[in-house]
Amino acid sequence: MSASDILQRILATKRTEIAAGQRERPLAQVEREAREAPPTRGFEQAIRRDAALGAAVIAEIKRASPSAGTIRADLDVAAVAASYERNGATCLSVLTDREYFGGSPADLRAARDACRLPVLRKDFVVDPWQVYESRAMGADCILLIVGAAPAHTLLELEHLAKSLGMDVLVESHDGAELEVALQLQTALVGINNRDLRTFTTRLETTVELLPAIPTGRIVVTESGIGTPDQVLGLKAQGVSAYLVGSAFMSAPDPGAELSKLFSGVRKG
């Protein structure tokens, strides 16, 4: 699949999925389900705590991706979630997009049921219906991608997520997107090192944008992190929160890989 139009293709698919979802479960229904869901687990708070201790790690559960293809075919979501927790993950990120990432809401539920960690719903959230749906499936935090929706929509979705007790991770990839991201209230500011237009991954993306991020916000570096040296390098630049997927999921033992990658920047 060509990278240039991947985000637009995903968003077009999402629109169709949302329309179908709304026919199946009208807004009033997901709204009720969201309000009946078990309480949230404090995603941002957990990140804040572990970042202060050296490094907060958001460990991702992902079967496949448009850039990598199949990453792990034989995935036992519950086992990996529990193993991430035992090996010191701060939070989980679970891909729920089926078409492009092979995930599902069932994956998020299985992961969350298998541990006590707060869980990020990793998907392309562009509509209020999906925010209720996220909480209904148990999400503690949602991802909002600046490139996926206009600023006013992001602000509306953030407000709704917060009103349901969820936290928000806002994702940007360059200076212009970061400016929009900083219009949101959330402290969790993700920098995606992967350019969704070209699939090129440069860890320097995070380092270059760091000076533009005010203190008080927590920078989450996302994508392409795969070696202890890379973690040490980012840490030396002042980064204390990391979102890692492929490096864990493609390892024989994802939890053990987490320990290996982060032992140099964490106590205990």
Ligand X SMILES: O=P(O)(O)OC[C@@H](O)[C@@H](O)c1c[nH]c2ccccc12
Q: Using an 8 Å Cβ cutoff, are 105 and 61 in contact? A: no
CB of 1 to ligand X, least distance (A): 14
CB of 101 to ligand X, least distance (A): 6
Q: Which is nearer to ligand X, 41 or 62 (CB)?
A: 62
Task: Work out the angle at residue 84's Cα, subtended by the Cα atoms of residues 77 and 99, and round it to the nearest 5 degrees.
Answer: 35
DSSP 136-196: HTT-SEEEEEGGGS-HHHHHHHHHHHHHTT-EEEEEESSHHHHHHHTTS--SEEEEE-B-T
- Rounded Cα–Cα distance for residues 154 and 148 (Å): 9
CB of 35 to ligand X, least distance (A): 27
CB of 226 to ligand X, least distance (A): 7
Q: Which is nearer to ligand X, 31 or 261 (CB)?
A: 261
Q: Which is nearer to ligand X, 50 or 222 (CB)?
A: 222
CB of 244 to ligand X, least distance (A): 5
What is the contact surface with ligand X in residues (CB under 6 A)? 60, 62, 122, 145, 171, 192, 222-225, 243-247
Q: Which two tokens stand for residue 100?
A: 């492009």
Q: Could you tell me which of 98, 99, 95 has the C-alpha nearest to residue 119?
A: 95
- Rounded Cα–Cα distance for residues 1 and 145 (Å): 21
Q: Which helix (H) or strand (E) holds 130?
A: helix 128-136
Q: Which is nearer to ligand X, 27 or 232 (CB)?
A: 232
CB of 72 to ligand X, least distance (A): 11
* Total count of residues recorded for the chain: 268
User: Which residue is at the shortest CB distance from ligand X?
Assistant: 245
How far are the Cα atoms of 112, 133, 144 from residue 161, in angstroms, in the given order?
18, 11, 10
Q: Which is nearer to ligand X, 29 or 251 (CB)?
A: 251
Q: Which is nearer to ligand X, 61 or 160 (CB)?
A: 61
- Type of residue found at 159: H
